[in-house]
Protein backbone atom coordinates (compact mmCIF):
# COMPACT_ATOMS: atom_id res chain seq x y z
CA UNK A 1 0.00 0.00 0.00
CA UNK A 2 2.27 2.83 -1.18
CA UNK A 3 -0.04 5.68 -0.07
CA UNK A 4 -1.11 5.77 3.56
CA UNK A 5 -2.23 8.40 6.03
CA UNK A 6 -1.67 8.47 9.75
CA UNK A 7 -4.37 10.37 11.62
CA UNK A 8 -3.55 10.89 15.27
CA UNK A 9 -1.33 7.79 15.21
CA UNK A 10 -3.87 5.58 13.44
CA UNK A 11 -2.78 4.47 9.96
CA UNK A 12 -5.53 4.31 7.35
CA UNK A 13 -5.85 4.02 3.59
CA UNK A 14 -6.03 7.36 1.72
CA UNK A 15 -9.67 6.71 0.79
CA UNK A 16 -10.48 6.41 4.49
CA UNK A 17 -8.60 9.56 5.51
CA UNK A 18 -10.93 12.44 6.33
CA UNK A 19 -10.65 15.84 7.97
CA UNK A 20 -13.53 17.50 9.80
CA UNK A 21 -15.12 20.49 8.06
CA UNK A 22 -14.75 22.22 11.45
CA UNK A 23 -10.99 21.74 11.39
CA UNK A 24 -9.16 25.06 11.78
CA UNK A 25 -6.59 24.07 9.19
CA UNK A 26 -9.44 23.72 6.71
CA UNK A 27 -11.28 26.84 7.91
CA UNK A 28 -8.40 29.26 8.45
CA UNK A 29 -5.15 27.65 7.37
CA UNK A 30 -4.46 27.39 11.12
CA UNK A 31 -1.92 24.58 10.83
CA UNK A 32 1.76 23.89 10.31
CA UNK A 33 3.36 21.41 7.98
CA UNK A 34 6.57 19.89 6.69
CA UNK A 35 7.38 18.05 3.49
CA UNK A 36 10.37 15.81 2.97
CA UNK A 37 11.52 12.82 0.97
CA UNK A 38 12.72 9.35 1.65
CA UNK A 39 15.57 7.82 -0.30
CA UNK A 40 15.70 4.04 -0.26
CA UNK A 41 13.40 4.14 2.76
CA UNK A 42 15.56 6.67 4.61
CA UNK A 43 13.79 9.87 5.70
CA UNK A 44 16.18 12.62 4.58
CA UNK A 45 17.04 15.39 7.06
CA UNK A 46 14.09 14.41 9.26
CA UNK A 47 15.59 15.99 12.41
CA UNK A 48 15.90 19.33 10.62
CA UNK A 49 12.30 19.13 9.37
CA UNK A 50 11.02 18.26 12.84
CA UNK A 51 12.98 21.14 14.32
CA UNK A 52 11.42 23.53 11.82
CA UNK A 53 7.95 22.10 12.53
CA UNK A 54 8.52 22.88 16.20
CA UNK A 55 9.72 26.36 15.36
CA UNK A 56 6.69 27.07 13.12
CA UNK A 57 4.35 25.75 15.82
CA UNK A 58 6.07 27.83 18.53
CA UNK A 59 5.79 30.99 16.43
CA UNK A 60 2.03 30.61 16.29
CA UNK A 61 1.46 29.22 19.76
CA UNK A 62 0.35 25.84 18.50
CA UNK A 63 1.18 23.01 20.92
CA UNK A 64 2.44 19.81 19.27
CA UNK A 65 0.51 17.01 20.98
CA UNK A 66 2.94 14.41 22.32
CA UNK A 67 5.85 16.53 21.13
CA UNK A 68 8.27 15.71 18.34
CA UNK A 69 8.93 12.14 19.56
CA UNK A 70 5.28 11.23 19.01
CA UNK A 71 5.36 12.78 15.55
CA UNK A 72 8.58 10.93 14.76
CA UNK A 73 6.86 7.67 15.81
CA UNK A 74 3.84 8.48 13.61
CA UNK A 75 6.17 9.08 10.65
CA UNK A 76 7.92 5.76 11.27
CA UNK A 77 4.64 3.82 11.53
CA UNK A 78 3.25 5.41 8.37
CA UNK A 79 6.44 4.66 6.45
CA UNK A 80 6.44 1.05 7.63
CA UNK A 81 2.80 0.64 6.61
CA UNK A 82 3.48 2.21 3.24
CA UNK A 83 6.63 0.22 2.39
CA UNK A 84 7.26 2.81 -0.33
CA UNK A 85 11.02 3.33 -0.47
CA UNK A 86 10.89 6.60 -2.43
CA UNK A 87 8.17 8.53 -0.67
CA UNK A 88 7.08 12.12 -0.30
CA UNK A 89 5.99 12.66 3.29
CA UNK A 90 3.88 15.52 4.58
CA UNK A 91 3.36 16.10 8.28
CA UNK A 92 0.42 18.36 9.08
CA UNK A 93 -0.53 19.54 12.55
CA UNK A 94 -3.74 21.56 12.76
CA UNK A 95 -4.96 23.43 15.79
CA UNK A 96 -7.87 21.03 15.74
CA UNK A 97 -11.58 21.30 15.11
CA UNK A 98 -13.87 24.03 16.37
CA UNK A 99 -15.95 22.64 19.21
CA UNK A 100 -18.62 25.34 19.57
CA UNK A 101 -19.47 28.02 17.06
CA UNK A 102 -16.89 28.80 14.39
CA UNK A 103 -14.65 31.39 15.98
CA UNK A 104 -11.27 32.74 14.91
CA UNK A 105 -10.10 32.87 18.52
CA UNK A 106 -7.52 30.05 18.83
CA UNK A 107 -8.73 29.52 22.39
CA UNK A 108 -11.93 27.97 21.03
CA UNK A 109 -10.14 25.11 19.29
CA UNK A 110 -10.32 21.52 20.50
CA UNK A 111 -7.04 19.61 20.63
CA UNK A 112 -4.49 19.68 17.79
CA UNK A 113 -4.56 16.84 15.28
CA UNK A 114 -1.51 15.21 13.71
CA UNK A 115 -1.59 13.89 10.16
CA UNK A 116 1.19 12.14 8.26
CA UNK A 117 0.60 11.68 4.54
CA UNK A 118 2.88 9.22 2.75
CA UNK A 119 2.74 9.00 -1.03
CA UNK A 120 5.08 7.75 -3.73
CA UNK A 121 7.47 10.55 -4.64
CA UNK A 122 6.51 12.09 -8.00
CA UNK A 123 9.91 12.94 -9.51
CA UNK A 124 10.71 16.26 -11.12
CA UNK A 125 11.20 15.42 -14.82
CA UNK A 126 14.85 14.61 -15.54
CA UNK A 127 14.87 17.16 -18.36
CA UNK A 128 14.44 19.94 -15.78
CA UNK A 129 17.72 18.93 -14.11
CA UNK A 130 19.47 18.44 -17.43
CA UNK A 131 18.32 21.57 -19.27
CA UNK A 132 17.24 23.83 -16.43
CA UNK A 133 14.00 25.68 -15.77
CA UNK A 134 12.44 29.10 -16.29
CA UNK A 135 11.88 31.41 -13.35
CA UNK A 136 9.49 34.37 -13.35
CA UNK A 137 10.06 37.38 -11.12
CA UNK A 138 6.45 37.97 -10.18
CA UNK A 139 4.53 41.06 -9.09
CA UNK A 140 3.20 39.28 -5.98
CA UNK A 141 5.38 40.28 -3.01
CA UNK A 142 6.34 37.80 -0.29
CA UNK A 143 4.34 38.29 2.90
CA UNK A 144 5.94 40.84 5.20
CA UNK A 145 7.61 39.34 8.26
CA UNK A 146 5.53 41.57 10.51
CA UNK A 147 2.31 40.44 8.81
CA UNK A 148 2.60 36.68 8.25
CA UNK A 149 6.20 35.66 8.85
CA UNK A 150 7.44 33.47 5.97
CA UNK A 151 9.59 31.65 8.56
CA UNK A 152 6.37 29.94 9.64
CA UNK A 153 5.57 27.01 7.38
CA UNK A 154 1.86 27.26 7.95
CA UNK A 155 -1.11 25.81 6.10
CA UNK A 156 -1.78 29.27 4.70
CA UNK A 157 0.04 29.21 1.35
CA UNK A 158 -2.17 31.63 -0.52
CA UNK A 159 0.65 34.16 -0.95
CA UNK A 160 2.84 31.48 -2.52
CA UNK A 161 -0.01 30.06 -4.61
CA UNK A 162 -0.84 33.48 -6.10
CA UNK A 163 2.81 34.01 -6.93
CA UNK A 164 3.13 30.58 -8.54
CA UNK A 165 -0.10 31.14 -10.46
CA UNK A 166 1.37 34.29 -11.97
CA UNK A 167 4.58 32.46 -12.88
CA UNK A 168 2.66 29.60 -14.50
CA UNK A 169 0.55 32.06 -16.50
CA UNK A 170 3.84 33.42 -17.84
CA UNK A 171 5.04 29.95 -18.79
CA UNK A 172 7.62 29.63 -16.02
CA UNK A 173 8.24 26.60 -13.83
CA UNK A 174 8.61 28.54 -10.57
CA UNK A 175 8.32 32.11 -9.36
CA UNK A 176 10.69 34.25 -7.38
CA UNK A 177 9.18 36.89 -5.12
CA UNK A 178 10.59 40.14 -3.82
CA UNK A 179 9.91 41.21 -0.25
CA UNK A 180 8.00 44.40 0.49
CA UNK A 181 11.24 46.44 0.39
CA UNK A 182 12.17 45.11 -3.04
CA UNK A 183 14.82 42.61 -1.97
CA UNK A 184 14.88 39.09 -3.40
CA UNK A 185 13.04 36.65 -1.19
CA UNK A 186 12.22 33.16 -2.43
CA UNK A 187 10.12 30.97 -4.70
CA UNK A 188 6.69 29.52 -3.94
CA UNK A 189 8.21 26.35 -2.50
CA UNK A 190 11.93 26.88 -3.03
CA UNK A 191 14.90 29.00 -2.01
CA UNK A 192 17.02 30.75 -4.60
CA UNK A 193 20.80 30.80 -5.04
CA UNK A 194 22.99 32.92 -7.33
CA UNK A 195 26.55 32.26 -8.47
CA UNK A 196 28.51 35.49 -8.77
CA UNK A 197 32.11 35.22 -9.96
CA UNK A 198 32.80 31.89 -8.28
CA UNK A 199 31.01 32.70 -5.03
CA UNK A 200 27.55 31.71 -3.93
CA UNK A 201 24.90 34.18 -2.75
CA UNK A 202 21.43 33.57 -1.37
CA UNK A 203 18.86 35.87 0.25
CA UNK A 204 19.54 36.22 3.97
CA UNK A 205 16.92 34.94 6.41
CA UNK A 206 16.32 38.62 7.24
CA UNK A 207 14.90 39.00 3.72
CA UNK A 208 11.78 37.28 5.09
CA UNK A 209 11.94 33.74 3.78
CA UNK A 210 11.45 30.19 4.94
CA UNK A 211 14.67 28.80 6.38
CA UNK A 212 14.90 26.00 3.82
CA UNK A 213 16.33 22.73 5.09
CA UNK A 214 17.91 22.14 1.69
CA UNK A 215 19.21 25.73 1.67
CA UNK A 216 20.97 25.21 5.02
CA UNK A 217 22.40 21.85 3.92
CA UNK A 218 23.73 23.33 0.66
CA UNK A 219 25.31 26.28 2.48
CA UNK A 220 27.11 23.84 4.80
CA UNK A 221 28.18 21.66 1.86
CA UNK A 222 29.46 24.63 -0.12
CA UNK A 223 31.41 26.11 2.78
CA UNK A 224 32.89 22.71 3.62
CA UNK A 225 34.24 22.51 0.09
CA UNK A 226 35.79 25.97 0.28
CA UNK A 227 33.14 27.94 -1.63
CA UNK A 228 32.47 31.42 -0.26
CA UNK A 229 28.75 31.77 0.57
CA UNK A 230 27.10 35.14 1.22
CA UNK A 231 23.68 35.28 2.86
CA UNK A 232 22.77 38.79 1.85
CA UNK A 233 20.10 41.31 0.94
CA UNK A 234 19.99 40.84 -2.83
CA UNK A 235 18.26 42.75 -5.61
CA UNK A 236 16.58 41.58 -8.79
CA UNK A 237 19.53 43.15 -10.65
CA UNK A 238 21.76 40.58 -8.89
CA UNK A 239 19.51 37.82 -10.16
CA UNK A 240 19.67 39.12 -13.71
CA UNK A 241 23.45 39.57 -13.61
CA UNK A 242 24.24 36.19 -12.01
CA UNK A 243 26.52 33.70 -13.78
CA UNK A 244 24.32 30.87 -12.58
CA UNK A 245 21.03 30.58 -10.72
CA UNK A 246 19.45 27.58 -9.05
CA UNK A 247 16.60 26.86 -6.69
CA UNK A 248 16.52 24.37 -3.84
CA UNK A 249 13.86 22.41 -2.01
CA UNK A 250 13.31 19.07 -0.37
CA UNK A 251 11.33 17.64 -3.28
CA UNK A 252 13.22 19.53 -6.01
CA UNK A 253 16.74 19.12 -4.63
CA UNK A 254 18.98 21.43 -6.71
CA UNK A 255 17.27 22.67 -9.85
CA UNK A 256 19.20 24.82 -12.35
CA UNK A 257 17.55 27.99 -13.65
CA UNK A 258 18.47 28.92 -17.22
CA UNK A 259 16.07 31.79 -17.86
CA UNK A 260 14.65 34.57 -15.70
CA UNK A 261 11.66 36.32 -17.25
CA UNK A 262 12.74 34.87 -20.60
CA UNK A 263 16.28 36.33 -20.37
CA UNK A 264 19.10 33.80 -20.50
CA UNK A 265 21.12 33.15 -17.34
CA UNK A 266 24.85 32.74 -18.06
CA UNK A 267 25.27 30.70 -21.22
CA UNK A 268 21.76 29.25 -21.00
CA UNK A 269 22.93 25.90 -19.67
CA UNK A 270 23.13 24.63 -16.08
CA UNK A 271 26.45 25.99 -14.81
CA UNK A 272 29.43 24.21 -13.24
CA UNK A 273 28.84 25.37 -9.66
CA UNK A 274 25.20 24.27 -9.83
CA UNK A 275 26.22 20.85 -11.17
CA UNK A 276 28.91 20.51 -8.53
CA UNK A 277 26.53 21.31 -5.66
CA UNK A 278 23.81 19.12 -7.08
CA UNK A 279 26.25 16.20 -7.29
CA UNK A 280 27.51 16.91 -3.77
CA UNK A 281 23.93 16.98 -2.48
CA UNK A 282 23.20 13.58 -3.99
CA UNK A 283 26.54 12.24 -2.77
CA UNK A 284 25.60 13.36 0.74
CA UNK A 285 22.39 11.36 0.53
CA UNK A 286 24.25 8.30 -0.80
CA UNK A 287 26.80 8.52 2.00
CA UNK A 288 24.01 8.68 4.60
CA UNK A 289 22.33 5.66 3.00
CA UNK A 290 25.53 3.65 3.08
CA UNK A 291 26.23 4.47 6.71
CA UNK A 292 22.81 3.35 7.93
Ligand X SMILES: Cc1ncc(COP(=O)(O)O)c(C=O)c1O
Binding interface with ligand X (CB under 6 A): 35, 160, 186, 189-191, 210, 212-215, 248-250
- Nearest to ligand X of 227, 254 (CB atom): 254
Choose the catalytic residue: 153, 168, 180, 252.
153
In the complex, minimum distance from the CB of residue 246 to ligand X, in angstroms, rounded to a whole number? 12
In the complex, minimum distance from the CB of residue 137 to ligand X, in angstroms, rounded to a whole number? 16
d(CA 248, CA 42): 20
In the complex, minimum distance from the CB of residue 216 to ligand X, in angstroms, rounded to a whole number? 8
Q: Residue 208: helix, strand or coil by DSSP?
A: coil
Known active-site residue 153: yes
- Nearest to ligand X of 215, 259 (CB atom): 215
- Nearest to ligand X of 6, 188 (CB atom): 188
In the complex, minimum distance from the CB of residue 190 to ligand X, in angstroms, rounded to a whole number? 5
Q: Report in angstroms the alpha-carbon separations of 125 from 130, 173, 252.
A: 9, 12, 10
- Nearest to ligand X of 210, 222 (CB atom): 210
d(CA 290, CA 285): 9
Residues 6+ apart with CB under 8 A from 24: 30, 31, 94, 95, 96, 97, 98, 106, 109
Angle, in degrees to the nearest 10, between helices 213-224 and 272-290: 100
Which residues does the annotation mark as catalytic? 153
Amino acid sequence: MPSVVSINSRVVRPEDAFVSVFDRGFLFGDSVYETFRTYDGMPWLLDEHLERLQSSADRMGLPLPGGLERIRDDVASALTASAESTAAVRIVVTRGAEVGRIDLDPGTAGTPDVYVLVRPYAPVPEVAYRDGIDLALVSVRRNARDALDPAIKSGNYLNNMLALREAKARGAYECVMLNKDGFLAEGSTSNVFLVQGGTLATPALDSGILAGVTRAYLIRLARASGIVVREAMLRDADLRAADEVFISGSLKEVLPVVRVDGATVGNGRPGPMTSRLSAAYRAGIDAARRSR
